[in-house]
Amino acid sequence: MSRGELTEAGRRHWQQKQERRAKIYRRRRALAVVVLIAVLLLIGYLFPRAWGWVSQLSSEAFSGETLSGEGPLDEVRGNQIPESGAPEPETTPEPEPTPEEAPDRASDPSRDPDSIHVLVNRQNPLQPEDYAPEDLVAPEVRMSTQSQLLLREEAAEALEELIQDAGEDGQVLAMTSGYRSYAAQLEVYANRHSAVGTEETDELVARPGYSEHQTGLAADVISIDNPNCIQGHCFADTPEGAWVAEHAADHGFVIRYLDGAEEITGYQFEPWHLRYVGEETAQEVAAEDLTLEEYWDRPAAAEYDVEEPDLDPAGTS
């Protein structure tokens, strides 16, 4: 039946059917456009990444790292000549030893005779052996002798303060020995040596050139007003000796020859023999109850290198 022969109702029905078809067509076309756009977007997202993967695989292949998953290019080319002998084991390099740090102390020993830290003992004579300080002065303290006793200026000032402070605490001290020249030490040693020989002389008297008194930094003190003990080993048991043992370091002095340290210093206990080393060093030495050899980490010096001393005055330099 042609469209002209349709009834009014049929025409409406036919128009509605055509409109539905047109609407379905428009939806399909819109859907196709959406799908096309999505596909294009997906391609735009994946293509750069795929290209990167391809480039990476290509560069690895041509760099010789891998080839068809078979290992390094050198191996594939046949560069597999075995090395002669067994393969050398891998060695781990040993770490370099850490240098020992120098001990943290107030001072170090010196060979300079003008230094207040010069170390003088049976293994370390003064250089030169006839050394004489140039700054000797007479301390303004009570002395046990008529002759004037001398010390180097810095040590003299420290001894003045020590004896003054002792007096303020009720302990009376006097100086009985100080600087002794090479010639004077030679005379003292030679006189005793002529009477008792080398071994017994060495026990009590330093050889010339090996005496701390020659440095001008050593002083002997006594309890001059104590009737029970003016001088000698009993000094350690007096109130004056106890005060010196407690306060000497406050003024820069150490008791040089300690009780029980004969195998280190070479001398018996001398509680009266004070050696000036400066307050900071003296405080550390006293706090640790050490000899100077121990504090300065030096070998014991109980013996001389030369068995017999040179007592010829003409042999001095």
Answer with the residue of higher pLDDT: 312 or 68: 312
Considering the domain architecture, whether residues 197 and 53 belong to the same structural domain is answered as no
Confidence of residue 76 (pLDDT cuts 50, 70, 90): very low
Considering the domain architecture, whether residues 187 and 298 belong to the same structural domain is answered as yes
**DSSP single-letter state for residue 176:** E
Point out which residues pair with 177 in neighbouring strands.
220
What is the rounded distance in angstroms from the CA atom of residue 56 to the CA atom of residue 47? 14
Give the whole-number percent of the chain exceeding pLDDT 70. 75
Could you read off the pLDDT of 137-163 as tens digits, one per residue? 999 999 999 999 999 999 999 999 999
Number of domains in the chain: 2
Considering the domain architecture, whether residues 172 and 47 belong to the same structural domain is answered as no
The CATH number given to whatever domain includes residue 208 is: 3.30.1380.10
Considering the domain architecture, whether residues 39 and 187 belong to the same structural domain is answered as no
Instruction: Indicate whether 77 belongs to any domain.
Output: no
pLDDT at position 71 is: 47
Point out which residues pair with 274 in neighbouring strands.
219, 255
Range of the domain at 151: 136-315
Given a contact cutoff of 8 angstroms between Cβ atoms, the answer to whether 275 and 109 are in contact is no
Could you read off the pLDDT of 29-53 as tens digits, one per residue? 777 777 788 778 777 777 777 666 6
As a residue count, the chain comes to: 317
> Which residues have CB under 8 Å from 169's CB, separation 6+?
243
> Which residues have CB under 8 Å from 198's CB, separation 6+?
307, 308, 309
Considering the domain architecture, whether residues 209 and 303 belong to the same structural domain is answered as yes
What is the rounded distance in angstroms from the CA atom of residue 159 to the CA atom of residue 151? 9
Given a contact cutoff of 8 angstroms between Cβ atoms, the answer to whether 158 and 252 are in contact is yes
What does pTM read for this prediction?
0.68
Instruction: Indicate whether 102 belongs to any domain.
Output: no
Q: Provide the 10 A C-beta neighbour count for residue 100.
A: 6
Point out which residues pair with 118 in neighbouring strands.
110
